[in-house]
Amino acid sequence: MSASILISNDDGIYAPGIMALYQAVRPLGEVTVVAPETEQSAVGHAITIADPIKVRPVTRSDGFQGYAVSGTPADCIKLAVGELLPRPPDLVISGINLGPNVGISVIYSGTVSAATEGSILGIPSLAVSLATFQDPLWETAMQAVVPLVRQILRQGLPEHTLLNVNVPNRPVREIRGFRTSRMGRSRFVEVFHRRANPRGDVYYWLDGELQMLGDGVGTDVQAVADNFVAITPLHHDLTHTAALNALGGWCPPWPES
Amino acid sequence: MSASILISNDDGIYAPGIMALYQAVRPLGEVTVVAPETEQSAVGHAITIADPIKVRPVTRSDGFQGYAVSGTPADCIKLAVGELLPRPPDLVISGINLGPNVGISVIYSGTVSAATEGSILGIPSLAVSLATFQDPLWETAMQAVVPLVRQILRQGLPEHTLLNVNVPNRPVREIRGFRTSRMGRSRFVEVFHRRANPRGDVYYWLDGELQMLGDGVGTDVQAVADNFVAITPLHHDLTHTAALNALGGWCPPWPES
């Protein structure tokens, strides 16, 4: 039986990256596209509970049929698995995102969120991002996806694990291979641009850039800089186990005890 | 010098929970309130980059002055630290949320997100939730916050750690104390309610309930059920370290190598 592959993204169903992903994986299984109607970048792991979620069939003249969803990437995966597909897919793939999802930006990423949701639902999942904001070499990311999908369909993934894949924006021949990595320690250095509207009301635009902290050895950021496709296994258990052990006797007494 | 405490939430600046938090911590330092204008539940770690962020001074007749922000909890913390406060606060507290943030729901939580953002910015942070959706006993959560804040201001927290605090909705005298815990393994069992508008367009309401997986020993869920205030240390590094080690030789060869 052919593998069932669910694809989504956060750039929206009309983005070029999801078409590149579709074209890359179409030979590998039966592909269903369920993606946001509009761009949903930086939505983190949001879900839509205060509004209804609208679903609309979409036919892209340049390729696929799919479903456009008036919600977030996590909504798309929940809805596809819970309602639109006859059975859970064998694999969830989110992407191909225009822009890297490395270091702390993973926390804000809608692309990663779709794959996280897949892993929460117990489905092997990966998020794929192309590390550039301009002149994307989709072909390189497409080349990277195929062997990863083949391997996951054959071997699976460790339980409760998703793979966060970041592809350098270099020609295929310049890529040095795949490299497992960890999420780089980093933070955004925020810049708020303060403006006022004609009535004098103040508003801000959030801007900023990623600043790496500590050395980069073994990180996603370093792998991409070294022209490797970075493969970072992530999970959705946020417990800081080392801190939990360290906090053994930390708790204050209860006020009335 | 008095401690500087930044408070926020995801239920919005007019919610009763943030007023309870304000009243609990006001005696402990200089408190600034920067919170969403409107309810932002289930926004996950979203930030606002495609729209301007509006800020409006708010005076609540029943208590505090603060800033209402047209964005997410993470926006509030970024904006407060980067723009509104003269220097970074000594502590970020998010809450008091109406409803538990335990198990997998932590991933979707705007309340936790504000504290996560604080920890990313290097500030000791905690998220406080009252484990009920009705008849909230705010007094119990207020009693829980005070000794935690005192202890954090005195001792700090392990680096890159936030505390996710869940308070049982029981009278103060029935609480058995604080208990450190881990995020419980769980998933939502989704139910999508399918509807159609008068024109026949289909839409869905997302609904569902938390289902625990595995045993509950040591979890936030169990601690609350046992009438303890659950203290779960979280971090924002999503790397699945065990899987990273297990994936050592996992990578397929690069197509052209």
CATH number of residue A165's parent domain: 3.40.1210.10
Work out the mean pLDDT of chain A and round it to a whole number. Answer: 93
* H or E stretch covering A221: helix A220-225
In a domain, A251, yes or no: no
Please tell me if residue B142 touches chain A, with a CB cutoff of 8 Å. no
In a domain, A68, yes or no: yes
How many beta-carbon pairs under 8 angstroms link A with B?
270
pLDDT at residue A117, as a whole number: 96
Residues of A in contact with B113 (CB under 8 A): 44
Residues 56-95 of B with CB under 8 A from A: 56, 70, 74-75, 78-79, 82-83
Spatial separation of the C-alpha atoms in residues A43 and A8, rounded to whole Å: 14
Which B residues in the span 178-197 are in contact with A, Cβ-Cβ below 8 Å? 178-183, 185, 187-188, 190-192, 194-195
What is the side-by-side strand order in the sheet with A162-168? A177-180, A228-234, A162-168, A125-131, A91-98, A4-8, A30-36, A65-69, A53-59, B202-212, B186-196
Q: What would the pLDDT profile of B1-33 be if each residue is shown by its tens digit?
A: 689 999 999 999 999 999 999 999 999 999 999
What is the arithmetic mean of pLDDT over A27-40?
95
Predicted confidence (pLDDT) per residue in B220-242, tens digit:
999 999 999 999 999 999 999 99
Is residue B69 included in any domain, yes or no? yes
The answer to whether A178 contacts B241, with C-beta atoms less than 8 Å apart, is: no
Chain A hits for B231, Cβ within 8 Å = 247, 250-251
**Cβ within 8 Å of B, A 9-28:** none
Predicted confidence band at A50 (pLDDT cuts at 50, 70, 90)?
A: confident
Task: Please give the pLDDT value at position A201.
Answer: 86
Residue A178 has pLDDT above 90, yes or no: yes
Tell whether A244 is covered by a domain.
Answer: no
Mean pLDDT of A169-182: 96
Name the H helices within B96-167.
Answer: 110-120, 138-155
Count up the domains in chain B and report the number.
1
Identify the pLDDT of residue B179. 96
Q: What is the pLDDT of residue A163?
A: 97
Closest residue of A to B207, CA-based? Answer: A49
Q: Is residue A234 within 8 Å of residue A164, measured between CB atoms?
A: yes
Domain range enclosing A136: 4-184+216-239
Q: Which helix (H) or strand (E) holds B32?
A: strand B30-36
Higher pLDDT, B210 or A137: A137
Which of A146, A144, A140 minimizes the C-alpha distance to A171? A140
The verdict on B52 touching A (C-beta cutoff 8 Å) is yes
**Residue A64 domain flag:** yes
Asked if residue A22 belongs to a domain, the reply is yes
Q: What is the pLDDT of residues A83-94, one digit of tens each?
A: 999 999 999 999
pLDDT of residue A94: 98
Over range B140-155, report the average pLDDT: 96
Asked whether residue A46 is domain-assigned, the answer is: yes
**CB-closest option in B180, B203, B206 to A78:** B206
Inform me whether the pLDDT recorded for B213 exceeds 90. no
When pLDDT is averaged across residues A130-142 and rounded to a whole number, the result is 97
Q: Are B91 and B6 in contact (CB under 8 A)?
A: yes
Looking at the complex, report in whole angstroms how far the Cα of residue A131 sits from the nearest Cα belonging to chain B. Answer: 18
Question: Does residue B129 belong to any structural domain of this protein?
Answer: yes
- Specify the pLDDT at position A257: 52
Contacts of B39 in chain A (CB under 8 A): 50
Q: Cα(B110)–Cα(B113) distance, rounded to whole angstroms? A: 5
Three-class SS state of B179: strand
State residue B62's pLDDT score. 76
Express as a percent the part of chain A with pLDDT over 70.
Answer: 99
State how far the Cα of A186 lies from the Cα of B132, in Å rounded to an integer: 36
Per-residue pLDDT band at A207 (split at 50, 70, 90): confident
Q: What is the rounded average pLDDT for all residues in chain B? A: 93
Best A204, A226, A256 member to test B by mutation, with max B CBs in 10 Å, is A204
Average confidence (pLDDT) over A128-151: 97
User: Is A44 in Cβ contact with B47 (below 8 Å)?
Assistant: yes
Task: Indicate the angle between helix axes A16-25 and A138-155, nearest 10 degrees.
Answer: 50
Mean pLDDT of A1-26: 95
Residues of A in contact with B175 (CB under 8 A): 254, 256
Measured CA angle at A113 (ends A108, A115), to 5 deg: 145
Among residues A211, A206, A215, A10, the alpha carbon closest in space to that of A99 is found at A10
Strand ranges of the sheet holding B162-168, from the earlier edge strand across to the other edge: A186-196, A202-212, B53-59, B65-69, B30-36, B4-8, B91-98, B125-131, B162-168, B229-234, B178-180
Indicate the SS3 state at residue A247: coil
Distance CA A67, CA A55 (A): 6
> How far apart, in whole angstroms, are the C-alpha atoms of residue B145 and residue B142?
5
